[in-house]
Amino acid sequence: MQAAWQAAGQSSELKSNLFFLGAVLTGNEEEDNARLMAQAGPGTAVIFHNFADEMGAMGGQAMPEGPLSNLIAAYLEQRDKYQPEDAKYLQNHRGHLMFVRPEETHITPELVRATSMSGTRAELVERLQEVKRQGYNQVTIQVVHGHESAVEEWHDVFSAV
């Protein structure tokens, strides 16, 4: 983005804002898994929703290689079962950024942790300090329906960056 900014001849500083879902973890595995799935899981689910949209019903033929390829293939099979037949996109996006649907069993706490801004307070402070060093001048936590009180914990994290 900085290259585009310079190419356009802009002399002012680029304003950049990084949005993310995430969870502030406690060190208690059971509690943390619940937080990951509820507060950050919906963002991880969107990765798969988007692949399903972009690949369509025969998407498996265009499957990208990578660590998520098996999971994406499994989700595409799931997506092919959605009804109505001519509007599979409806179920594909139900709950977008709000909840993980029951059939989305490929969304696990481990996967969510690897694909979101999640960690202990100390880990998050360190990650966000790196984001700050990269040059972002604003960060935005995308809180999830029913878990808005997480702003209290995120305030604590942000204040320490």
Partner 1 sequence: MEYSVAFATEVDSWKWAKRAEELGFSTAWFYDTQLLNPDVFIGMALAAHETSRIRLGTGVLVPSNRIEPVTANAFASLNRLAPGRIDFGVGTGFTARRTMGLGAIPLKQTRTYIERVQKLMKGETVEWDFEGQKKKIPFLNPEVGLINVEDEIPLWISAFGPKGQAMTAELAAGWLNFGATGTGEAL
Residues of the shown chain interacting with partner 1 in the complex, contacts defined by CB under 8 A: 1-2, 4-5, 7-8, 10, 12, 14-22, 43, 46, 49, 53, 87, 89-90, 92-93, 95-98, 115-118, 128, 130-132, 134-145, 148, 151-152, 154-155, 158-159, 161
Contact, 22 vs 40, CB < 8 A? yes
- 42 cis-preceded (ω within 30 degrees of 0): no
Q: How far apart (Å, rounded) are the C-alpha atoms in residues 119 and 24?
A: 6
Q: Which is nearer to partner 1, 26 or 129 (CB)?
A: 129
CB of 71 to partner 1, least distance (A): 16
Radius of gyration for the chain, computed over Cα atoms and rounded to the nearest angstrom: 18
Q: Which is nearer to partner 1, 30 or 102 (CB)?
A: 102
Q: How many CB atoms lie under 10 A from the CB of residue 82?
A: 16
Amino acid identity at 80: D
Q: Which is nearer to partner 1, 80 or 136 (CB)?
A: 136
CB of 137 to partner 1, least distance (A): 6
Establish how many alpha carbons lie within 13 A of residue 14's alpha carbon, considering only the half-sphere containing its beta carbon: 15
CB of 158 to partner 1, least distance (A): 4
